[in-house]
Every structure is written in C-alpha cells, then in structure tokens.
Structure 1
Amino acid sequence: MNWYVLYVKSQTEKKTATALERMGLEVFCPTKTEVRQWSDRKKKVKVPLFKSYVFVRLSEEERQQVFVVHSVVRYLFWLGKPAVVRDEELETVKKWLADELVEEVQVRQFSPGDRVEIKGGVFKGQSAVVDQTGSRKVRLILKHLGVIVEASYRDLVS
C-alpha cells in the first residue's frame, strides 16, 4: 500500500480527512496551531499544514473509492502517474510537527507613522516606518533603502 496525495476543495482538509477515516482508510492531514485574532478575542486554531492537500494510504485497486467524499477533487499526479509519497517523508513531517513549539504572537495595533524594526525575512534588522495597516499585513517604508514593502505583523518589533 502506498501513500497518495489528494487535492481537496479549499478549507475542507480536516472534514475530508474525517470522512475518509470513517470509511476505514488511513489518512494523514498534518495541522499546525496558529493564533488568530478577531476584534474581540484571540484564539488558537488548528489549520492544515498543506492547504488543499490530504494524504491517504491505500492500494492501487482502492484508489477510486475516495471519490465518494464530495470534497475530494483529484489525485496529485507526477510524471503522468499518481504521486506516491514515501513513508520516510511523512515520518519526517510527523517528527517536525511533534517538535513544533507554538509561538505566542504578541499582537499590537500599529498606526501610520510608527517606527518599527523588522525581525524576520529578507529585511531582518532594518528599521522602517508604518505607512498603512491591514487586517493581516502592514505596509512599511524603508527610507534608507528607498523602498516600500509589505510584512506580516509577526515580523515586526515596535
């Protein structure tokens, strides 16, 4: 039996994995924990590590039965054949997820004109001025480089 990669409808990864498990199939849908903020609260939520993908272990003869689940779109193909994932590769993902430390992201409101330091990415260590803020990203002006960039809030230190 091999591990195959299923492409599923967007944001149905966990539901699809549950439905396939109920059918008696071996399924792997790796998830990570993220801190999400709404206007009134913060919450830790589990989100799929690979968006729109679920791994399923079955024999070649059983491959068609996954399409009973309506959110399954198709198999991922490689060189004209369904992509097969080695056990070692999935074990590596499982070990990596077991070691994952959930990083608490300190969320703070930024306003245009605030001075910040970029703590991640290509511009790590650079100072910038907030130009615009959005729900997930902030636009920054790096005056000494003469560029405007977008960054996620977690990449900033005020």
Structure 2
Amino acid sequence: MIEELNPHWYAVYVRSRYEKKVHQWLEEKELTSFLPLLETMRQWSDRKKKVYEPLFRGYVFVNIDMKHEHIKVLETEGVVKFIGIGRNPSVISERDIEWLRTLVREPDALHQTVSTMPAGRKVRVLAGPFKDLEGIVVKQGREDRMVIFFDSIMQGIEVSIIPDFLLPL
C-alpha cells in the first residue's frame, strides 16, 4: 500500500547568500521549492547590472510532507533549519505563498522588508493586484504604505496602495 503525501509549505533558514543555490538543489532533489526574487539594479564602479535578489534574505520556501521529506531538506547543503516555534516548524498557508507570488509580480509597489510588527491601522485591500490582502498601514499620504506581515516567518514587506482601495478593519 502506497501512503499518500500530505504536503504543506514551510520556510527554511539558509546560510548567507545561499538562497539561490539551496532553491536549485532542492529542485534537483525533486522537492517543490519557492524563492521569491526581485529584480534590482546594482551599481559597481565600472558598470550597472540587473540582478535578482531574494525578497527575504536567508529564507527559501518548500512544499513537502514533513514526515517523509524533511530529512531530504535538512541534508541539502546550505540549509540551516526549519523556521518555527521551538522544535515545531511553522506551516505557511497557501494563501501567504500566493501573496508572496503576487508581491514579486508587482515589484513597483514594493519598498522594503521589515522584521518588527509596526503600529497602525489594520486594513483590507478592496481592489487591484493585492485584493483581499490584509495588513497594517504605516504611512499616510498620496499613496498609503501598508505592511503585509507574515506571522509564520516573522517578516513583513511594505507596499504602496491607493487609499481608496483600503477598508479599515
């Protein structure tokens, strides 16, 4: 009898600057991996170049059955540990993964990552590419800046949203 896999998304913490390598090695092991990347322009003394950098430094996301596949992940060079509380890895919802996919498709709206929960008004987005996303408004102005905070990895990202698209919660 073949036992069915029950996969969930998890975040793994990786060695510094190993995000892309770990992502590639996990995929070579036929594990589902997701690394949200943003295109940025880097200036060197002699040239400018477009490079892709991780949205969250040090994190790679995997969709695995923890019971059967966690060892394959931990044995991957560069992987330090699963992110979680104590010894229990935190499950990341499919919805959060979809929000991350949306965020990297809308790079012009992104500003910076934050690692502390900001104080402010909690809102839901009513329209646009971030529809139904909930977050905290951190700045008032022509465009409100909202932080979308992912509790499972204790990281957030700041985005610009037209104020008319926001509903206070």
TM-score by length of 1: 0.62
Q: Deviation of residue 67 (structure 1)?
A: 2.0
Deviation digits for residues 111-135 of structure 1 (CA, Å, limit 9, x no counterpart): xxxxxxxxxxx9xxxxxxxxxxxxx
Contact between 1:4 and 1:56, CA under 8 Å: does it hold in 2?
A: yes
Which of 79, 86, 89 is the aligned partner of 1:72? Answer: 79
Q: Counterpart of 1:24? A: 30
SS of equivalent to 2:100: helix
Residue 102 to residue 46, structure 1, CA distance change in 2 (3 Å) = farther
1:51 aligns to what SS in structure 2?
coil
Residue 28 (structure 2) pairs with residue 10 (structure 1): no
Matched position secondary structure for 1:94: helix
- 1:80 Cα deviation (Å)? 4.4
Deviation at 1:70, TM superposition (A): 1.6
1:102 CA drift (Å): 9.1
Q: Which amino acid aligns with 1:45?
A: V
Provide structure 2 residue ranges, at least 5 long, that are not aligned to the other structure.
Answer: 1-6, 111-138, 140-169
Residues 126-154 of structure 1 deviation map (CA, whole Å, 9 limit, x = unaligned): xxxxxxxxxxxxxxxxxxxxxxxxxxxxx
CA contact (8 A) 1:31 1:48 kept: yes
Partners of 1:47 and 1:65 in 2: how far apart? 25
Mark the runs of 5 or more structure 1 residues left unpaired by the alignment: 104-121, 123-158
Matched residue, 2:116 = none
Higher Cα radius of gyration? 1
Q: How far did residue 79 of structure 1 move?
A: 5.5
Separation (CA, whole Å) in 1 of partners of 2:25 and 2:101:
21
Q: Check whether the contact 1:34–1:102 (CA below 8 A) recurs between aligned residues.
A: no
Matching of residue 90 in structure 1 with residue 97 in structure 2: yes
Deviation per CA, 1:80-129: give whole Å up to 9, x if none: 410110000010111121122399xxxxxxxxxxxxxxxxxx9xxxxxxx
Q: Are positions 1:37 and 2:43 aligned together?
A: yes
Q: Distance in 1 between matches of 2:36 and 2:71?
A: 23
**Identity %, equivalent residues:** 36
Q: How does 1:59-138 map to 2 (within 5 A)?
A: 59-61=65-67, 62-78=69-85, 80-101=87-108
Counterparts of 2:95 and 2:56 in 1: how far apart (Å)? Answer: 17
